[in-house]
Structure 1
Amino acid sequence: MDYAVELKRITKRFGSFTANESVDLAVRPGEIHAVVGENGAGKTTLMNVLFGLLQPDEGEILIDGKPTVLPGPTAAIAAGIGMVHQHFKLVPSLTVAENVFLGMEITKGGLIDHRAQRARTAELSRTFGLKVDPGERVGLLSVGIEQRIEILKVLARGARIIILDEPTAVLTPQESRELFETLRGFVAKGMTVIFISHHLEEVMEVSDTVTVLRLGKKIATRPTADLTKAELVQMMVGRAVSFDRRPREKSAGAPVLAVERLWARDERGLPAVRDVSFEVRAGEVVGIAGVAGNGQTELAEVLAGLRPESHGRFRLGDVDLTGRSPAAIRAAGLAHVPGDRMVRGVDRHASVAANILMTRQDRAPWSRRGLIDWSYVRHRAEELIGRFDIRTQGPDAPVKSLSGGNIQKVVVAREFSGDARFLLVDQPTRGVDIGAQEAIHDEIMRQRAEGRAILLISVQLDELIALADRILVMFNGRIMGALDAEGVSEDALGLLMAGIAPEAVSREAAA
């Protein structure tokens, strides 16, 4: 039997750096094949070679057993390959159907036939179980719906081999489960799925076969059913990794952040944060749990000065920051790891060093008499590259040349290396590998031990349980309840996330 995809001895170099070294990958038709490894292991590079975005320096590609040259994405699409990237490539001002057919519009009489595009999008949606409204503007939709649109784009172009790069990095658990059902439906139709993921529970649940890469080399390809999660981690990072609840001293610090009856509106002018009050004390990690879209993003934006509050107040220590600018809030002692690193976290065209400098360019020793001390900036960047294990060619490398997880580490390195007394940390391990997750968790606990107050927003309940002292659960913009993270169950949190009253959760926790 011919493989749907076969990569033989693929080598890809960037200057003196070898991203892939003689890598073999064989994927059967009608299977879900996971490719896993740490950030910088060469996973995305290998998939970019398969999709024609990069040309291999050595090796060959076979599609359905036939040697195939893919000089660009157009050739890959013609060969039946589609790729859904980690960072979506949609136009927010266009409709779902317009995005699906962007660049291959259906025309009639020389004009775009919008009715035909909507009808074809609806047909694809029904056929593959990807529910969308073809006429809806993309800018108004959730991230989960945006991913469905990206998948519909590749299906509209005739893809039968679909590559998904970190497909669940921005999805809620419910959206992830819906995606898995979609993928199973694909392979039931004889299609082939290759996906990159850092979430090993998902790999174990949905994949048929796993290929592990480490430092650009293939370590192994094994049937998923023959592996345990611990064995997979060992192959990925070369050592055991623990994600048990972290030990900590009890915190009794003074309140650092105080939020009082806060309200805020979303882009449509509707209430997104509703009468929220809480405190975060020095040396304490307070977690925020909730299904995405229940006000967590808007709350973080208000606290960072990126969205106006409509009512209520918040302060750091004795400093009232209500209505203040992002710069004023940072000057009062806030550091912010945003939920979307590409939109708010980095300038992807600037260097690693320049991104480390951001928010500090007007302060000594980063600048003197209005002039940036680039020698010092590069020196500090090199220190942080080592401390946070950022896989890059150096401080002058552009951020856009890094993998998604390493971009996240640049953001975390910048925000955790200052002197802020309050850390607003939103989805800190989104899209990062197992080893990096452990390192970021260690850093969060180190910051806690040094007395900083930390508000941790995460869609990963196991992350909140491992790190938080208390967990607040948001539903429909309100705090449904606050639970001690010691001994709390995911089921108890899930009830609150579904909007079930705290009394029911107390009974569930006691049962």
Structure 2
Amino acid sequence: MSADTLATAKPAVELEGITKRFPGVVANHDIRITVEPGTVHAIVGENGAGKSTLMKILYGMQKPDEGTIKVNGAEVSFRTPSDAIGVGIGMVHQHFMLADNFTVLENIVLGAEPKKAGLLDLAAARRRITELAGAHGLRVDPDKRVEDLGVGDRQRVEILKVLYRGARILILDEPTAVLVPQEVEELFQNLRQLKSEGLTVIFISHKLDEVLDIADAITVIRRGTTVASVLPSEVTARRLAELMVGSELPTPETRESTVTEKVALRVSHLTMEADGNRAVLPKGTSAAGYAETLRAEGRRLLLDDVSFDIHEGEILGVAGVEGNGQTELIEAIMGLRPAIGGVQLNGDDISSWSTLRRREAGIGYIPEDRHRQGLMLEASLWENRVLGHQTRRPARSGIWINRRAAKADTERIVKDYDVRTPGIDTLALALSGGNQQKLIVGREMSGEPKFLIAAHPTRGVDVGAQAAIWDHLRNARAAGLAVLLISADLDELIGLSDSLRVIYRGRLVAGLDPSDVTPEQLGGYMTGAIAGTEET
């Protein structure tokens, strides 16, 4: 689309006076946003500021109580997402809307299946998906099941799903949350290509530097209403943060070292085959040599001879592009998936223990996806407090759940971790993402854990919640907690970690000093562009 055409074109989206009320709360009040066609328009604000509600209104998932929506100059009223799709609006949610047991192709065409003589035309679907993937650099395997994909691949499937339906206006919710710097730049190149083709992108993000890099215009929402519309050239990241929360950007910097001599967790020669269920070494084989044997046989390894120690008072950060073995490492330590090798907790070999027994022994777990693995969204906050802790105090009393004690402890977590909620009987789904995450962090920090797995602990939360979670991790570390930190936020990894490892294709390939590495260098190790030498 030419500059002259854009200059005379009607706005892609106009929101005027949008107001949405829920019982006891006003989620949006008099929202006013104009999105020009062929631009990337960023919307920023704290969790709970009203961004998600506003996007659900624009996508037809909720109906506003007041206000009007115009798309390409025409006033519209949406009853369902199908109505929004019908006028060319597509949304990629932060928590993906995919069927795990379907293939990539089946997910993309679901509800929009091409037919030939009344039957699904798979050949036409495959051609269209291949064309879209090639045109926009969205690499996917159409025949792979979604349950076997990493988070980054799932995101690409969601974007393709939207483009397949002919969307000309794309809503992207936290699209860079799982990407390393090189992949972010690749995504931004794709967005710029989409923009040059006349498509419009509404970009929701908490990463303010990225917003300033990609956006043509920025709207700031605070407490349910628009407080500023600015150009990237007019503001800094610090100024944006002040507009969002009234304070400067927090930093994840960890101060003095608290690392002790005592090893809390020891992982020895962990090896996991792709599609394998072996958890016992063949006779006459050592754990140290098992991975080498499998490699010589040409087997694909999800974990390849992984060994490390984490001491009390230490945060060990593991960096890696999504899908390089981080999830499998967590599953092996938690006992969720069989693996060869050893796991010791405070000197005890827990390799054969059940997940429940490992939890009872003092392993806390902040999962990488709070909705799929961390919460029951249809349950109350106090019931979610009990999850994973149902056999221990205060949740357990004899053979029963002690509701009174569980509720009292949930009140403590709500207070200590600043979980903003009407009450502990509120359903988890009613909380913003940041408050859901703070509840999980509070739950997993309870009961004096000996070791904590923190997987993407601040993914998709605003700068205020992010700072609070960093403080809790720092304080727990100072009190002697050992932490395995897995994150796609490289500033977070560098700032919080006492030591850093890089995982690439299931193998630890580099040990780095956080005080002496940049995000760009770390990204180079993660993608294999820089070869690392791992100390054994």
In the alignment, which residue of structure 2 is the partner of 1:289?
319
SS at match of 1:116: helix
- Aligned partner of 1:408 in structure 2 is 437
Where 1:307 maps in the other structure, the secondary structure is coil
- Paired residues for 1:74-223 under 5 Å: 74-223=82-231
Provide the residue aligned with 2:286 in structure 1.
Answer: none
C-alpha distance in 1 between matches for 2:118 and 2:471: 59
Letter in 2 for 1:232: L
Residue from 308, 317, 334 that aligns with 2:338: 308
Encode CA deviations 1:444-464: one digit per residue, 9 max, x unaligned. 100011111111111222111
1:266-290 Cα deviation digits (max 9, x unpaired): 4467322222221111111111112
- Asked whether 1:226 is paired with 2:234, we answer yes
TM score, norm. by length of structure 2: 0.89
Do the aligned partners of 1:96 and 1:137 also contact (CA within 8 Å) in 2? Answer: yes
Task: Quickly say closer, same or farther: Cα 1:29–1:267, change in 2 above 3 A.
Answer: same
Letter in 1 for 2:44: V
Alpha carbons of structure 1 residues 133 and 363: separation in structure 2 relative to 1, 3 Å: closer
Alignment RMSD (CA, Å)? 2.1
Write the distance in 1 (CA, Å) between the matches of 2:303 and 2:313. 26
Work out whether residues 456 and 487 of structure 2, in 8 Å CA contact, stay in contact via their aligned partners in 1: yes
The structural deviation recorded for 1:491 is: 4.3
Q: Secondary structure at the match of 2:516?
A: coil
User: Which residue of structure 1 aligns with residue 404 of structure 2?
Assistant: 375
Distance in structure 2 (CA, Å) of the matches to 1:109 and 1:201? 51
Query: Helix, strand or coil for the counterpart of 2:61?
Result: coil
Indicate how the Cα distance of structure 1 residues 495 and 33 shifts in structure 2: closer, same or farther if over 3 A, else same: closer
One-letter code aligned to 2:76: T
* Among candidates 37, 41, 53, match of residue 33 of structure 1: 41
Q: Is the 8 A contact 1:40 1:391 kept in 2?
A: no
Inter-partner Cα distance in structure 2 for 1:125 and 1:495? 25
Aligned counterpart, 2:53: 45
Query: Does 2:485 correspond to 1:460?
Result: no
1:279 corresponds to: 309
2:370 counterpart residue number: 341
Aligned partners of 2:17 and 2:30 also within 8 Å: yes
Q: What secondary structure is seen at the aligned counterpart in 1 of 2:170?
A: strand
- CA deviation string 1:236-257 (max 9, x = no partner): 1111133152212442241111
Summarize the Cα distance change of 1:332–1:363 in structure 2 as closer, same or farther, 3 Å threshold. closer
Q: CA deviation at 1:504?
A: 11
Worse-matched range after superposition: 454-463 or 40-49: 454-463
**Does the 8 Å contact 1:356/1:414 carry over to 2?**
yes
Alpha-carbon distance in structure 2 between the residues aligned to 1:365 and 1:301: 26
Query: For 2:100 and 2:534, how far apart are their aligned partners in 1?
Result: 40
Assess if the C-alpha contact under 8 Å between 1:98 and 1:117 holds in 2. Answer: no
In structure 1, the partner of 2:420 is: 391
Question: What is the aligned counterpart of 1:497 among 511, 526, 529?
Answer: 526
Matched ranges for 1:467-478 at <5 A: 467-478=496-507
Query: What's the TM-score once normalised by structure 1's chain length?
Result: 0.93
Q: Structure 1 265/391 Cα, relative in aligned 2: closer, same or farther at 3 Å?
A: farther
> Contact 2:452 / 2:481 at 8 angstroms: preserved in 1?
yes
| Partner deviation per Cα, 1:391-449 (whole Å, 9 max, x = no partner) | 33321222222333332222212101221111111111111111111111111100011
Q: 1:22 to 1:495 in 2, by over 3 A?
A: closer
Aligned to 2:4: none
Mapped to 2, the partners of 1:419 and 1:250 lie a distance apart of 17
- TM-superposed CA distance for 1:197, in Å, is 0.7
Q: Which moved more, 1:295-304 or 1:263-272?
A: 263-272
Letter in 2 for 1:364: R
Mapped to 2, the partners of 1:222 and 1:315 lie a distance apart of: 53
Q: In the aligned structure 1, how far is the partner of 2:141 from the partner of 2:524? A: 29
Q: Distance in 1 between matches of 2:322 and 2:412?
A: 35
The CA distance in 1 between the partners of 2:302 and 2:257, in whole Å, is 35
Unpaired runs of at least 5, structure 2:
1-7, 278-299
Cα distance change of structure 1 residues 98 and 41 upon mapping to structure 2, 3 Å threshold: same
2:76 aligns with one of 46, 68, 77: 68
3-state DSSP of counterpart to 1:486: helix
What is the one-letter code of the residue matched to 2:156?
Answer: R
Unaligned runs of 5+ residues in structure 1 are 506-511
Q: Deviations over 1:85-116 (max 9, x none)?
A: 11112223333332222112111222111112
Task: Say if 1:458 and 1:255 are closer, same or farther in 2 by CA, change over 3 A.
Answer: same
1:319–1:332 contact (8 Å) kept in structure 2: no
Per the alignment, residue 280 of structure 2 pairs with none
- The structure-2 alpha-carbon separation of the partners of 1:157 and 1:493, relative to structure 1 and needing over 3 Å to count, comes to closer
